[in-house]
């Protein structure tokens, strides 16, 4: 009887270790996707960038934050200001980068939730064009593990325009967590 108890304990410890290792591996793979996303924006590497995304429909949508929208209305008038949201595609985003000499999509405050099959990543970002931050906000990625590889299925983000508002420091942004 004691041998059965001992074997049960060993099995549980081994199973927990295996599960913890799988979680760590998933987080490492998802972090690699985030790093490759950022790197491919800097290098304007469309082949790597496109490979991060799932086949078929991928949601790409952004919304301008209310206070930036209000400033746009003040500056340009209600009829001339941009809409407060847009939908596009990751391919169109990559093509848009080529109008700049340099681009960066910087991420911090990254939080990953995953169950081994689906994942949600939230992060703070700042987008830079020609060495100047143009906008910042929150970015949210949804991923699935397809055929053993993590793929992005949606990118949704908020935009705060740096023409009007500076990005708070990381410490200030983490206060609300």
Instruction: Please give the average pLDDT of every successive group of 10 residues along the chain, which has 177 residues.
Output: 64 55 85 97 97 96 94 82 87 97 96 96 97 97 96 98 95 79
Separation between Cα atoms, residue 120 and residue 116, nearest integer Å: 11
Q: What is the dihedral of CA 45, 51, 53, 56, to 10 degrees?
A: 120
Q: Which domain holds residue 9?
A: 2-174
Total domains present in the chain: 1
Instruction: Bin 106: left if φ > 0, else alpha if -120 < ψ < 50, else beta.
Output: beta
Side-chain-side CA neighbours of 146 within 13 Å: the count stands at: 12
Which CATH number covers residue 100? 3.10.450.50
């Amino acid at each position: 009887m004691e041998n059965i108890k001992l074997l049960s304990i060993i099995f549980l410890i081994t199973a927990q270790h295996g599960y913890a290792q799988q979680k760590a591996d998933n987080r490492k793979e998802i972090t690699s996707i985030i790093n490759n996303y950022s790197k491919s924006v800097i290098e304007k590497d469309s082949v790597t960038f496109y490979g991060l995304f799932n086949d078929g429909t991928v949601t790409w949508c952004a919304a301008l934050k209310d206070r930036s929208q209000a400033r746009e209305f003040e500056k340009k008038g209600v009829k001339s200001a941009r809409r407060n949201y847009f939908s596009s595609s990751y391919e169109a985003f990559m093509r848009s980068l080529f109008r700049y000499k340099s681009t960066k999509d910087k991420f911090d405050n990254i939080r990953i939730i995953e169950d081994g099959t689906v994942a949600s990543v939230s992060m703070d970002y700042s987008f830079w064009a020609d060495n100047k931050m143009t906008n910042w906000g929150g970015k949210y990625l949804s991923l699935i593990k397809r055929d053993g590889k993590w793929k992005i299925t949606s990118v949704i983000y908020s935009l705060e325009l740096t023409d009007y508002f500076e990005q708070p420091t990381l410490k200030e942004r983490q206060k609300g967590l």
